[in-house]
Structure 1
């Protein structure tokens, strides 16, 4: 073909490469299995490609609903939870933050700053939104509406974790 004066144009790529090989999306993610195992801790971590939020439970927990919202609402009252960031994730565990006697099993020192996310690539703020009628909500302020994934893990011991990873970029 080049002899006829036609340029050879390579075919377009069939897929755009993803950031760090991540193929997550930004739509809501859910697992509808409720539990009575209470929340015991909220913690976070950083990775080269994403920031991670972990909810720890004193038993098996797999139920959650995580999605982008215009405003995270306080459990029970519905009041808006102030968050820093360009986008907000409502992180709902289908499990309480109190025991069978109604005593709190997770008592944050500062409801506005559950964990220190200073210097994180994506996270801007993690705030308490409450626990009511077997559901516990955490508000997560992030830099922008970015891809995320959610999954459950067993352990340590008889406990479990709900893990939320939010990518640094698309």
Structure 2
């Protein structure tokens, strides 16, 4: 009779243990879920312009990668936000102001970035941004970017700096101004998916 009781007790213990696991509420179990972040899609691809001008100079152009877009930042220290003007839009080919020379820019589409600030000191004519017309932007490495393909300095002429930004395809973009800088974000796609 002792063996029957032990067998029965073992079976009862297994049954209780099984019911106990089955009774654990779903929210208490650990699961891995994939979160999908929606990216903004309403930027459009039309030319964006802001009228303003400054006597301050461009000192740096840098880029960065983000979850939904690639970013270019043009630094103009001392310009604040009121003095920063720009024209940013897609072009079929990039031509240098003044000379009219063609500046080849790699990628499936080209965005021309015009900043209403010189890349030189207006008083002395000395460059404030160490770039050469037609060459890649110094210090900018676009390896691993989803959207950006090429970034070329076109020049600085009559108080305006011109940049060619090569992108994978014609994609939506936005332009906004922060203190002492102009920011250009180009989306990774049109759908807003990451």
TM-score after normalising by structure 1: 0.82
Corresponding residue for 1:157?
none
C-alpha separation in 1, matches of 2:49 and 2:176: 9
1:111 Cα deviation (Å)?
5.2
Corresponding residue for 1:135?
160
Q: Does 1:169 align with 2:155?
A: no
**DSSP-derived class of the 2:43 partner:** coil
Root-mean-square deviation (CA), in Å? 1.4
**DSSP-derived class of the 2:39 partner:** helix
1:72 Cα deviation (Å)?
1.2
What are the superposed Cα offsets for residues 80-113 of structure 1, whole Å, 9 maximum, x if unpaired? 1111101000000011011121111001279522
Higher helix share: 2
C-alpha separation in 2, matches of 1:144 and 1:81: 18
Corresponding residue for 2:129?
106
Gaps of at least 5 residues in structure 1 are 1-18, 155-159
Gaps of at least 5 residues in structure 2 are 1-37
**Runs of 4 or more consecutive aligned structure 1 residues displaced over 3 Å after TM superposition:** none
C-alpha separation in 2, matches of 1:32 and 1:72: 21
Corresponding residue for 2:108?
86
**DSSP-derived class of the 1:77 partner:** coil
The aligned length equals: 147
C-alpha separation in 2, matches of 1:147 and 1:78: 27
What are the superposed Cα offsets for residues 107-157 of structure 1, whole Å, 9 maximum, x if unpaired? 127952211111100000000000000010010000000000001111xxx
Contact preservation (8 Å) 2:133, 2:155: no
C-alpha separation in 1, matches of 2:120 and 2:136: 20
1:78 Cα deviation (Å)?
1.3
C-alpha separation in 2, matches of 1:110 and 1:82: 11
C-alpha separation in 2, matches of 1:21 and 1:152: 18
C-alpha separation in 2, matches of 1:102 and 1:64: 21
C-alpha separation in 2, matches of 1:143 and 1:167: 10
TM-score after normalising by structure 2: 0.73
**DSSP-derived class of the 2:59 partner:** strand
